[in-house]
């Protein structure tokens, strides 16, 4: 019997990051195929987007 691949280890995580970010970020966090370097880059981009939004909103 073949083991079914988890949804967060497939290409759908990239689409979820664009279409539904909370679920996409969870997929990045749980993924075993995405290297740690790219996980950190994704989290840093999210943090910069949030900080940028706060700065733009406060001006």
Q: Per residue in 24-58, pLDDT tens?
A: 999 999 999 999 999 999 999 999 999 999 999 99
Average of per-residue pLDDT across 17-28: 92
pLDDT of residue 8: 87
The better pLDDT of the pair 59, 36 is held by 36
Tell whether 1 is covered by a domain.
no
| Stated pTM of the model | 0.77
**Which residue blocks in the chain are alpha helix, DSSP H?**
12-19, 21-30, 36-58
CB 27 within 8 A of CB 38: no
The count of domains in the chain is: 1
pLDDT surpassing 60 at residue 22: yes
pLDDT of residue 1: 57
Tell whether 2 is covered by a domain.
no
CB 54 within 8 A of CB 29: no
Domain that holds residue 38: 7-58
């Amino acid at each position: 019997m073949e083991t079914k691949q988890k949804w967060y280890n497939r290409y759908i995580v990239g689409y979820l990051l664009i279409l539904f970010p909370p679920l996409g970020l969870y997929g990045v966090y749980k993924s075993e195929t995405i290297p740690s370097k790219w996980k950190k880059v994704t989290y840093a981009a999210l943090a910069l987007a949030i900080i940028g939004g706060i700065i733009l909103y406060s001006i």
